[in-house]
Structures are given as structure tokens and as C-alpha cells.
Amino acid sequence: MPALSSNPTSAIPAAESAPSSGGDAAGRIALLLLTIKGLGWFVLAGLLQVLASVKMHGPLFLADFPAFSYGRLQPAATTALVYGFLTQIGLAVGLWILTRLSRSKLALAPVVIFATVLWNLAVFVGIIGILCGANTGFPWLEMPRQILAVLTLLSVVFTLSGLITISFREERELYPAAWFIVGALFSLPWVLGTATWTLLFQTVRGAVQLSVNGWFIHAFTWLWLGFLAIGALLYVVARVSRTELYSRSSAVFAFWLFAIIAGWGGLMASAPLPRWIVSVSGTANLILLVPIALIVHTLWKTSAPEAADKSEAAALRFSRLSIQSLAAYGLLSLAFYAPAKNAVLGLTLFQPGLMNVFFTGVVTLALFAGLNLMLPELLGNKERGVIKGSTLFLLLLGLAFTTLPLILGGMKQAVLWADLSKSSAEVSRGLNGFIGPATLGYIILFVASVLILVQLLGSIKTACMEFFGSKTAPASKR
Amino acid sequence: MNHVTLIFIGLFVTFVGSWTGMVVAPQIQLGRQVPTGQMQPAERPPVEGDPGDIYPLARVGQAEQGHQIYRKEGCYYCHSQQVGVTQADLRWTQDGRFSVHRDYLFDQPALFGTQRLAPDLSNVGVRLPDAKWQMMHLYSPQALVEKSSMPPYRDLFERRKVDVKFGPSSKALDFSEEQRKALRLAPDEEVVPKKQATELVAYLLSLKQNVNLFEAPMYAPKTNGVAGVTNTVEAASPEAKK
Amino acid sequence: MSDSKTNSEVQQSREPKVGHIPTPLWAVTLLGLFAFVGISRLVDSGGAFDPNVYGSYQDFAKVEIAHPPANIPPELIKGKQVFGKNCAACHQASGQGLAPLFPPLAGSDWVNADGHARIIRIVLNGLQGPIKVSGKDYNNNMVPWKDSLKDDEIANVLSYVRNTWGNKGSLVTPEEVKAIRAKEAGKSEQWTAADLLAIPLK
């Protein structure tokens, strides 16, 4: 795959590449490599998730292969999605936006390429490790601790590249998208490194592990993935709508609120921790609604209903759906974390449903909107590499099927558990009707991911052939 | 000030803030609760029935090995190990109480679980103390609980021909005729637990949060009737199934 | 060629700019409201940041009520607090004292004596000069506590001292302390061991 992407990009004529982009050869290879690898992980994560989901109602499926038990497939799928897909696509889009906003090329591009290769190798080894039973036991930090340490070090490379890139800007003032992306790049090594250190090297004891793990998941969700998604949206929506960002002060205010609040939330009301920790977390979860509302408001006011340029229509549609998902996520998470006397949603199917709203609805759609602007530029044609509206339909179908049944199922599950006359086998049986559609949703998402990857590889191949065509026979170019 | 520097400093401060609140403060408060024999009794008010510095007891080696198998197999993606205070949680305790920090002092890592697709196991050693039942359930959940959605862990067992000379192994699983038929076990075949199965069951039976603690008293006996015992009994006795 | 050049120029000018509408008032109001609701909930039911308050308990007092300490009289629990604040600095939390400066209370013949007359006086007015405790000689200065501790506090702390670290004795009542305080109201100097030994135990 790397060979494929390196050919067309290494020698595209200078005039073809926009002078303001990450347009030198190394920069293009770095961004394309991150994209291809990321989409590859999207496919793999989808496959693992489909298998895991099938195992939920067919426990005898693949029962004689210990590597494919639900307890190993599920963490492998989450890891592939978070560290393979979302993180790499996020890096590609985030770094590209920084090159655009600073009107300079991607700094340290060769090192970024090297780090990307190592990152993929590390995640691959980590996932094999999980499937072989080397799971650490901490959600979202399941890869062996050596791998997590390597990933932390590699993340510093991406951070440095982004910082140097943005430091070449001419204007002193940063566009808000850059605030969020630079913030995300700062957060990644900190959050990943300290959590790995506290949980897996200098270990803490007892329920403090739950507190640290909760802190990590919430900080990683908002300060890394969330910041990247918001950064991409702030850039894409304003650019595609051909308008200025509705309110800079709102965006920056929301940035600081996120930074202050995000690390405190995320513990379930039922956690076996002293009451004050859980209460503090509940308060943070409530206050977090304010920056979410502010960002949604600003983006919605900025967004035009229709894209000015037809080729950017899909990007705008992706963005608007991502904004709506963000609003939905805020409200649903309030319900999820709310303390309740009787039935609680924590530990039910509501949680994977909620995570799917965030992963697929908010982050994936926002980053795909970014890809829709980035790929045409990198591939030298404004129609090329665009993720089409038809694929968007598949993604939305998958999103609906992987969220609504799980959210409803989670509510039913909470009620069923609270009914003490029901046996646990009855409760499990009562949920089958909800898990089935979710499996279908995962299959749809998997198909969509394959389509997107195939489309991208096709576009790169076209760009490649066009370039070679133009080189060997310049006359036949147009 | 340069914006990037501002972001760096601002994020660092907020990061340190949430880190202090959610990691350092709990560690300072709870970290002094250390395993058996090293706890300072003066730290907590005296309470009758609180075992002070001898709870929790360290796991025996076999159960600790089992804990690692539980982690490896990812059992905690379906089974939680945390009892809360809601009505629903009464199901998982027998004469019980909710879970607290002290219950997990020896768990490295502590496997709280992210989902409750299946029963909570905090008290499985109290609710289902039958090692034989646990063994058979691990080998074939469906043979014991109808339409169970738990995958079988056949990998932890050895299915072999009965030794002609010595006869059936004393450790062989004691399935009924119907169950043998359902599992397609030939009359001269037996299922013997490997080391890992023995360890895992030892771990499961060691899971008991049934000690009266100062911060978490056992519920008054009158709640026992409510406490979803029906559910556990149904699953507990192999006889009920037959 | 020229096409693509203009194209890129257009692209360059297309980098988004910011508008300068201030943060809407509703957001600030919402923030204030949520912060108020959240923080008052934290104050009401956050367990006052006590590590022993879990689950359905609102605060530490409720946890203690849930566990009536059956064998331990409340006087001792209160006395322990007084001891920790005022006495443990010299006599140590373990009641062992610090030889050769501070005499022990654990197993001390003075503490375990039948009557309370002498120990109440020691706490009220303090003590100075040589004293023999459990067969060992000490010579130091203990400050009077009659101005800083109330009758019930002195009674509770003495009850605690007489029933901890292996000591077993009757509880001291606030009435006894009150009576002796009234009797010795005129005395301003500290006691000496010799003076005390002249006073009957009961």
C-alpha cells in the first residue's frame, strides 16, 4: 500500500499542487499513508465488531477458537477502531488542517511517515496480543503495556510535527479549528502516557483503578477524539459554507470549558467509589453540556444549508449530520450518567449505543467531512477521493442500526434487571431482539468501510496512472 | 502571548487539575488502605464486625492464577464485578451490601466490568459455591442453563477416552445421561478439566463480598427476601434444571 | 496551467475567517445554572469528601448511625477525638508515652487506679516535678487543661484513656469532674506527685 501511494505523489508537478497545502511530496505521502492505514483499520475493526456482535447471540459460533471468544474480539474491535481508525484519520485531517491554516507544508514529514509505519505495527502487534490473551484488563488500554508506551512516544512525533507546522503561520491569531487541533495534539501524549503509567507501570490499587480508567476514557474521548472532530468541523463548515465562523469567542470559550471540565466526568453513578468522587463526576457531566451546546450552536449558525460548490456537497452533509450527532450525544450522555434510585443505564447496552453515537456519528462523520476536502487536494483533482453521498447513506443506516436498538435495549435491560422476579437467563433472552438489528448495523458499517477503502484506492490508482501518463506522454494529458 | 503557548499552559493547568481531582486525591485518600496486615487500624473508626486489617484476605495462588485467566478471556466484557445501591443490584448480593474500594485491594488489575450482559460475579462464591456445577457450566453453559448466551470454554478442558486400565478420572465432569447425549459424549469418553479450568473455578469461588465493613454494612436481614434469591437458586442447583 | 494557478489562489483566499459575535448570554446563564445545580448537589450529597462515605449515605454521620458501635460507649469515641487533638502529641496515639520524657498511660498504675480523684486533678491543673509511673521515674511538666477543656471533654478523654490499650477501668463522669473543679477552684499552681499522693483515691 505505501508503494502505491508514494508513486503518484512524489513527483506531481509543482503547479498542480496548491502552494498553500501540505503539498510537498513527503507531506502528501504522510497524510495519504495515515488515511489509507486508518481506513484499513476501519475495515478490520468493522470485521472484528461484526464477529463479536454475532457471538452475542450465537455463543456456539467459532466456539472452538479461543482467540475468537467475545471477551477477546470485543476489546480487539474497540482498540482497532480507536487506535487504528479514528486516531489515524484524525491525525491526517488534523495535521492537514494545520498545514492549510498556516499556509505551510507539513513539518517533519519523513519522521511522520516513519512514525506512522511504527504506529501501525504497534497497534497490529497489540491487537494480536489481545486475541492471544495478553489483554491488560483496563478498558481502552487493553493492549500490552509495552505497546502503549511505544504509542505514547510515537504520539509525541505527531504532536511535534503539528506544532512546528502551525508555528510557521503568518498571522499571529489562530483560527479556532487550530485551537482544538493543537489542544488535541497536546493532550494525546499526556493522557495516554499518564494513564498507562499509573495503571500499568506504577500501579494503583483497588477502586482507584476505576477512577483512573474513567478519567482516561473521558479525557481521551473529549480532549483527543472530540477535539479532533470539533476542529475538523470548525474548519470544514466555515470553508464549505463560504462564510466566516459565526462566533470566535463562543468557540474559544467552549474550548476552555472542555479543557477544564472534560477530565472530571465519565464515572457512572453506580461506581464503587466514595460518594464525593462520583458526585464530582456527575457535576462535570452536567456542566459539559454547556460547551457542547455552544459548539453546536456556533457550527449550526455558521453552516449554510447547501454547499456553494457541488463537489463539496457531501462534505457539508457529513458535517451537518456530525453536528446533529454531537447534540444528540450530549443529551443521551446526560441520561446515561444521571443518578437514579431504581434502574440505572450504566452497565447496560445503552453504553455501546452511546459510544456508537460518538464514534460513528460525531467523530467518523466529522473526519470524513475533512477527508472530503483533503483528498481532492492531495490527489490533484477536486472530484477525486471524495466519499460520496451514497456511502453516506450506508453510514447513516449503519449508525441508526448500531445506536437506536442498543439505546432502547439498554433501557429495557435496566428495567428487566430491576425486576427481581426475572431470572438472568430471561433478561438475556429479552435482549436478543435488540442485539440482532445492531449486528445488522455493524455489517452495514463494515460494507461501507470496504466501499470507502476501495474507492480511495481506486482514486489513488487513477491519480497514479494520470501522472505516469502525463510523464511518458505529456501531450496526452488533457 | 503566543496562542500556542497559551494553549499549552492552559491545557497543562487544566490537565493537572483533573488529574489531581480524579487520580491523585482518590489515591491519597484510598491508597493508604493497603492489603492485609499492613493497614493502620487507627485510620478507621472501630466497628463491631469490621474485620479491620484482615479484610480482604489474599487469594491463594490457584485463585490468583484464575484471576489472570478471567482477565485473559475478557470475562469482564459481559460479567461486571460491582454491586451498586439500586433495587436491581439486590439481585447480586445474598445478605449482601454494595461494593467498596476495600473489596478490590488484591485485584491487579481490578476487573469491574463495563457491561452487565450476564450476572454480576462479585458474590458468585456465595451464590453458586458448587465447584462441580461451575466446571460443567464452563464446559457447556447451554447444558445447564437453557438458551444461555455464554460461550462454552471447551478450550480449558480435555475431552478424551476413558483410560482402560485406571477407569474414569476422579476429576471428570459429572454430566447426566441427557446432558451427555446433548454434548455427543460417547460412553467411553470423559471431560477432564485442565489446570486453567481448575484455577478459574477457584477464582470464581473466591469472589465473596460478604463481610460487614464500616463503610458498607451488610443489609438488614429483612431485605434478603427481596434480594433476587429466586434467580440464583434457579441457576444454582443442577437438580432444578433436571 | 493558468487554470490550476487561479484555482489555488482561490483556494488560498478561501481559508475561513472568524466572526466576532460575542458568546451568547444564554450559554453563560446555562453555565452559571448548571454550575450552581451541580455544586449544590455536591455540597448536599457529596459526603463532604470523606473516603468512608459510599453509596446511599449522604454524609459520615449517616454512615456512623448505620453502625451503632455496640460494644463501645459513645464516651470513648468522643474521648478519642479529644485525646487525638490534645494528648497524643506527648503521650502518643499508642498511649506508650515517650520515655524518658513523657510517662506512658497504657498500663500506668496512676491511670488504672480505682478512684478518679487524682487523675482528674492532674488533667485540671497539670503536674510538675518528679513522679514514679509503673516503677519508672519521670521529671517533666504537664500543662493545666482546666481552661481549654470542658467537664465532659475531660470526663470522656479520661474514660477513653482508662479503657484503651489494655487498660480496663470505670468510666469518669462529667459530674465528678465538675465537683473536683469546684473544690479546687482556688488552686492555680500545678500539682506535684507528693501532693497528689496525699489525696485519697475516692
pLDDT 10s digits, C124-178? 999 988 898 888 888 888 989 988 898 989 998 999 899 888 888 888 999 999 9
CA distance C156 to chain B (A): 16
In angstroms, the CA A379 to CA C127 distance is 93
Q: Is the pLDDT of residue A5 over 60?
A: no
**What are the tens digits of pLDDT across the range B191-207?**
999 999 999 999 999 99
**What are the tens digits of pLDDT across the range B146-157?**
888 899 999 999
The residue of chain C nearest to residue B214, with distances taken between CA atoms, is C67
The Cα-based distances of A452 to A263, A372, B119, B146 in angstroms read 34, 11, 40, 42
Chains with 3 or more CB pairs closer than 8 angstroms to B?
A, C
**What are the tens digits of pLDDT across the range A302-333?**
998 888 888 888 999 999 999 999 999 999 98
Any idea what the Cα angle at residue A163 is, between residues A157 and A168, rounded to 5°?
A: 130
Mean pLDDT throughout A438-462?
Answer: 94
Give A382's contacts (C-beta < 8 A, 6+ positions apart).
Answer: A309, A311, A376
Q: In this complex, which of C52, C55, C72 lies closest to B214 when CB atoms are compared?
A: C52
Predicted pLDDT of residue A23 = 55
C-alpha grid cell, residue A67: 482467540
Inspect the interface and report whether the beta carbons of B29 and C66 lie closer than 8 Å: no
C60 reaches A (C-beta below 8 A): no
Q: Is the pLDDT of residue C193 over 60?
A: yes
Chains with 3 or more CB pairs closer than 8 angstroms to A?
B, C
In angstroms, the CA A72 to CA B75 distance is 9
Among the listed residues C102, C61, C74, C40, the one whose alpha carbon sits nearest the alpha carbon of residue C171: C74
Confidence of residue B236 (pLDDT cuts 50, 70, 90): very low
Query: Residues C149, C82: contact at Cβ < 8 Å?
Result: yes
Q: In this complex, which of A167, A207, A342 lies closest to B110 when CB atoms are compared?
A: A207
A308 against A358, higher pLDDT: A358
Among the listed residues A435, A427, A442, the one whose alpha carbon sits nearest the alpha carbon of residue A408: A435
How distant is the alpha carbon of residue C12 from its chain centre? 68
Q: Is the pLDDT of residue C40 over 50?
A: yes
CA distance A156 to chain B (A): 14
Instruction: Give A-chain residues touching B34 at CB under 8 angstroms.
Output: 205
**What are the tens digits of pLDDT across the range A453-473?**
999 999 999 888 887 776 665
Handedness of CA C5, C7, C8, C9 (dihedral sign): positive
Parallel, antiparallel or unpaired: strands C136-142 and B189-193: unpaired
CA distance A287 to chain C (A): 6
Write B150-153 long-range contacts (CB < 8 A, 24+): B150/A59, B150/B78, B150/B118, B151/A55, B151/A59, B151/A60, B151/A63, B151/A69, B151/A70, B152/A59, B152/A60, B152/A63, B153/A66, B153/A69, B153/B73, B153/B197, B153/B200
Predicted pLDDT of residue B226 = 36
Predicted pLDDT of residue B47 = 53
Predicted pLDDT of residue A152 = 97
Q: Is the pLDDT of residue A372 over 90?
A: yes
Confidence of residue A43 (pLDDT cuts 50, 70, 90): very high
In angstroms, the CA A100 to CA A97 distance is 5
Q: Is the pLDDT of residue A14 over 50?
A: no
Confidence of residue B37 (pLDDT cuts 50, 70, 90): very low
Inspect the interface and report whether the beta carbons of B226 and A420 lie closer than 8 Å: yes
Predicted pLDDT of residue C71 = 56
Give A143's contacts (C-beta < 8 A, 6+ positions apart).
Answer: A79, A83, A122, A123, A126, A127, A129, A130, A136, A151
Q: What is the DSSP letter of A466?
A: H
Inspect the interface and report whether the beta carbons of C67 and B46 lie closer than 8 Å: no
C200 reaches A (C-beta below 8 A): no
End-to-end CA distance of chain A: 28
In angstroms, the CA A235 to CA A180 distance is 10
Inspect the interface and report whether the beta carbons of A276 and C30 lie closer than 8 Å: no
Q: Is the pLDDT of residue A78 over 90?
A: yes
Best mutation target among B8, B9, B11 (most A Cβ atoms within 10 Å) is B11
C36 against A341, higher pLDDT: C36
Query: Residues A387, A371: contact at Cβ < 8 Å?
Result: yes
Q: Is the pLDDT of residue A432 over 90?
A: no
CA distance B109 to chain C (A): 21
How distant is the alpha carbon of residue B10 from its chain centre? 42
Mean pLDDT throughout B210-235?
Answer: 53
- Reported as type and span, the H/E element at residue A275 is helix A275-287
Inspect the interface and report whether the beta carbons of B102 and A206 lie closer than 8 Å: yes
Predicted pLDDT of residue A340 = 67
Confidence of residue A66 (pLDDT cuts 50, 70, 90): confident
**What are the tens digits of pLDDT across the range B130-144?**
999 999 999 999 888
Q: What is the DSSP letter of B162?
A: P
Mean pLDDT highest for which of A387-396, A422-431, B67-76? B67-76
Predicted pLDDT of residue B60 = 82
Q: Is the pLDDT of residue B30 over 90?
A: no
**What are the tens digits of pLDDT across the range A124-172?**
999 999 999 999 999 999 999 999 999 999 999 999 999 999 998 887 7
φ/ψ of C98, rounded to 5, equals -135, 95
Residue ranges with strand state E in chain B: 157-161, 189-193
C196 against A295, higher pLDDT: A295
Predicted pLDDT of residue A135 = 93
The residue of chain A nearest to residue C12, with distances taken between CA atoms, is A20
A238 reaches C (C-beta below 8 A): yes
Place of cell 475495515: A43
C-alpha grid cell, residue C109: 498504675
Q: Is the pLDDT of residue A476 over 50?
A: no
In angstroms, the CA A260 to CA A284 distance is 9
B121 against A467, higher pLDDT: B121
The residue of chain B nearest to residue C77, with distances taken between CA atoms, is B45
Among the listed residues C170, C146, C144, the one whose alpha carbon sits nearest the alpha carbon of residue C159: C170
- Among the ranges given (A249-263, A355-369, B174-188), the one the predictor scored with the smallest mean pLDDT: B174-188
How distant is the alpha carbon of residue C28 from its chain centre? 41
Give B160's contacts (C-beta < 8 A, 6+ positions apart).
Answer: B189, B190, B192
Write B151-156 long-range contacts (CB < 8 A, 24+): B151/A55, B151/A59, B151/A60, B151/A63, B151/A69, B151/A70, B152/A59, B152/A60, B152/A63, B153/A66, B153/A69, B153/B73, B153/B197, B153/B200, B154/A63, B154/A64, B155/A64, B155/A66, B156/B69, B156/B193, B156/B194, B156/B196, B156/B197, B156/B200
Q: In this complex, which of A56, A209, A256 lies closest to B110 when CB atoms are compared?
A: A209
CA distance B126 to chain A (A): 17
**What are the tens digits of pLDDT across the range A166-193?**
998 887 788 999 999 999 999 999 999 9
The Cα-based distances of A79 to A70, A93, A122, A197, B40 in angstroms read 14, 20, 12, 18, 41
Give A275's contacts (C-beta < 8 A, 6+ positions apart).
Answer: C45, C46, C47, C53, C54, C55, C57
Predicted pLDDT of residue A205 = 85
Inspect the interface and report whether the beta carbons of B101 and A208 lie closer than 8 Å: yes
CA distance A386 to chain B (A): 32
Q: Is the pLDDT of residue B36 over 70?
A: no
Instruction: Give B-chain residues touching C70 at CB under 8 angstroms.
Output: 48
Mean pLDDT throughout A8-14?
Answer: 37
Inspect the interface and report whether the beta carbons of A271 and B152 lie closer than 8 Å: no
Predicted pLDDT of residue A93 = 97
Inspect the interface and report whether the beta carbons of A244 and C57 lie closer than 8 Å: no
Residue A386, classed as helix, strand or coil, is: coil
Chains with 3 or more CB pairs closer than 8 angstroms to C?
A, B
In angstroms, the CA A135 to CA B72 distance is 6
Q: Is the pLDDT of residue A2 over 50?
A: no
The residue of chain C nearest to residue B46, with distances taken between CA atoms, is C69
Mean pLDDT throughout A287-294?
Answer: 94
Confidence of residue B240 (pLDDT cuts 50, 70, 90): very low
C-alpha grid cell, residue C48: 463532604
Q: In this complex, which of C52, C56, C69 lies closest to B48 when CB atoms are compared?
A: C69
Inspect the interface and report whether the beta carbons of B216 and C93 lie closer than 8 Å: no
φ/ψ of C189, rounded to 5, equals -85, 165
Mean pLDDT throughout A336-351?
Answer: 79
φ/ψ of A221, rounded to 5, equals -60, -50
Predicted pLDDT of residue A19 = 40
Give C80's contacts (C-beta < 8 A, 6+ positions apart).
Answer: C160, C164
Q: Indicate the average pLDDT of chain A.
A: 89
Predicted pLDDT of residue A342 = 61
Confidence of residue B239 (pLDDT cuts 50, 70, 90): very low
CA distance B1 to chain A (A): 10
Among the listed residues A296, A293, A299, the one whose alpha carbon sits nearest the alpha carbon of residue A241: A299
Predicted pLDDT of residue A18 = 41
Q: Is the pLDDT of residue A439 over 90?
A: yes
- Among the ranges given (A96-110, B17-31, B80-94, C64-78), the one the predictor scored with the smallest mean pLDDT: C64-78
C-alpha grid cell, residue C115: 478512684
Residue A408, classed as helix, strand or coil, is: helix
Confidence of residue B52 (pLDDT cuts 50, 70, 90): low
Inspect the interface and report whether the beta carbons of A263 and B22 lie closer than 8 Å: yes
> For A329, how many CA atoms within 13 A lie in the half-sphere containing its CB?
26
Predicted pLDDT of residue A8 = 39
Best mutation target among B13, B149, B207 (most A Cβ atoms within 10 Å) is B149
The residue of chain A nearest to residue B115, with distances taken between CA atoms, is A347
Query: Residues A85, A41: contact at Cβ < 8 Å?
Result: yes
Query: Residues A453, A407: contact at Cβ < 8 Å?
Result: no
Q: Is the pLDDT of residue A223 over 70?
A: yes
